[in-house]
Amino acid sequence: MTRALRTGRSQMNINSKIALALLLGVFSFFLVFLLGEGAGLAAVVPAAAYAHAIVFIGGVGTYFLVTSYLLLRGNPHAVREGWPVLMALNAALLVATLIAWLIEPNRGAVLATAGTALLAVVSSLAGAALASRAART
């Protein structure tokens, strides 16, 4: 027997959601590279470092919030029942954090990777909570 999580008007199998979340998680790995390399901001602007941090945090946080919301919408128990989908969505960044912790000699880079993974997990949980709240009303 397969469990299905409600998604709007259609039913989507949980295994399909996990596979889609895994693909979106791999895409997010490249999104982090794109946003982390400066997002096209010029270094001559005095506030470029602050603007880069705002763009990075906003971009990564928004991506994980929206993707987890869209994957888990329609389920009033999304936070409790959707954890396999959330783990698949965050798997790429969590594995990258583990690899960085094991082999990266630069501890600053390890902390940055861990911070990015923490931002992704928190944003994903916020998206699941938002989906759960929206399904209850």
Residue 87's φ and ψ, nearest 5 degrees, are -65, -40
Mean pLDDT of 12-28: 90
**pLDDT (tens digit, 9 = 90+) per residue, 118-134?**
999 999 999 999 999 99
Which residue, chain included where needed, has tokens 């998206």?
127
Q: Range with the lowest mean pLDDT among 3-7, 74-78, 95-99, 105-109?
A: 3-7
Q: Enumerate the β-bridge partners of residue 7.
A: 10
Which residue, chain included where needed, has tokens 């470092």?
49
Assess if residue 118 is contained within a domain: yes
Print the domain residue range for 40: 13-136
Assess if residue 93 is contained within a domain: yes
List CB contacts of 66: < 8 A, sequence separation 6 or more. Answer: 127
Q: Range with the lowest mean pLDDT among 5-19, 48-62, 67-81, 86-100?
A: 5-19
Q: Range with the lowest mean pLDDT among 30-44, 46-60, 77-91, 102-116?
A: 30-44
Assess if residue 8 is contained within a domain: no
| Mean pLDDT estimate for the chain | 85
Assess if residue 61 is contained within a domain: yes
| Measured distance CA(130)–CA(51) in Å, rounded | 27
How many domains are there within the chain?
1
Assess if residue 5 is contained within a domain: no
- Six token digits for residue 54: 């705002």
Residue 40's φ and ψ, nearest 5 degrees, are 80, 15
